């Protein structure tokens, strides 16, 4: 009986504490207030929905995105989405066959998509440096700004055994 009274006393102390009232009353009140604001803004006549508009952008002023691992999976999905948004999409992958396939797929969905594909082996420093200089040269020749607005490092590398890169590093 004494133990029950002691537990009841602890419970009453907790009910009378600031923490309880903050948790039980104020959190509940703020949650209900948030739902009320959401409800009223959704159903009021003052809410407006503006259509998405994109100003016409010249080829040289388009934002440039570089996607590594763009031949399949999330990289390919990102390439499709960014080309629909008007980006100049630079596709980077190991296989030239898969790169041309993804370029064809994107061009089928959006004929005026701006795409450039580079074959790069990200396991080789020399291949990466060659890509860097090729990309810079392409941007200069296209009279585009040398900055990249979006970089998606999506290339996945899975080493199942110990192999060395051409430079002698472990993959």
How do residues 135-163 score in pLDDT, each as one tens digit? 999 988 888 877 889 999 988 766 666 77
Residue 96 domain-assigned (yes or no): yes
Residue 85 domain-assigned (yes or no): yes
Residue 117 domain-assigned (yes or no): yes
Task: Give the count of domains, the chain.
Answer: 1
Domain hosting residue 94, numbered range: 59-153
The residue written with tokens 């407006």 in the block is 48
Instruction: Give the residue with greater pLDDT, 170 vs 94.
Output: 94
Residue 109 domain-assigned (yes or no): yes
How do residues 85-139 score in pLDDT, each as one tens digit? 888 999 999 888 999 999 999 999 988 888 999 999 888 889 999 999 999 999 8
State the number of CA atoms in the 13 A half-sphere of 71 facing the CB: 18
| In the predicted structure, residue 77 carries a pLDDT above the cut 70 | yes
How do residues 19-75 score in pLDDT, each as one tens digit? 887 777 788 888 899 888 888 877 776 656 656 666 566 666 788 999 998 888 899
State the DSSP string of 74-143: HHHHHHHHHHHTT-EEEEEES-HHHHHHHHHHHHHH-TT-EEEEEE--TT-HHHHHHHHHHHHHHHHHTT
* CATH code assigned at 104: 3.40.50.720
Residue 30 domain-assigned (yes or no): no
Residue 2 domain-assigned (yes or no): no
Which residues partner with 66 through β-bridges?
90, 151
Residue 98 domain-assigned (yes or no): yes
Asked if residues 134 and 111 have their Cβ atoms less than 8 Å apart, the reply is: no
The residue written with tokens 């903050």 in the block is 22
CA dihedral 136, 140, 143, 144 (to 10 degrees): 20
In degrees and rounded to multiples of 5, residue 160 shows phi and psi of -95, -15
Residue 18 domain-assigned (yes or no): no
């Amino acid at each position: 009986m004494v133990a029950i009274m002691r537990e009841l006393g602890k419970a009453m102390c907790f009910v009378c504490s600031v923490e309880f009232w903050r948790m039980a009353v104020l959190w509940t009140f703020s949650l209900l207030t948030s739902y009320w604001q959401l409800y009223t803004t959704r159903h009021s006549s003052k809410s407006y929905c503006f259509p998405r508009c994109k100003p016409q952008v010249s080829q040289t002023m388009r934002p440039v995105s570089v996607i590594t691992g763009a031949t399949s999976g999330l990289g390919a999905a990102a390439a499709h989405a960014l080309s629909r948004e008007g980006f100049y999409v630079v596709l980077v992958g190991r296989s030239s066959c898969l790169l041309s396939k993804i370029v064809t797929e994107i061009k089928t969905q959006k004929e005026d998509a701006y795409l450039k594909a580079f074959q790069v082996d990200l396991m080789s420093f020399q291949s990466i440096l060659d890509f860097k200089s090729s990309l810079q040269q392409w941007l200069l020749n296209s009279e585009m700004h040398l900055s990249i607005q979006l970089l998606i490092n999506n290339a996945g590398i899975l080493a199942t055994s110990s192999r060395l890169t051409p430079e002698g590093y472990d993959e």
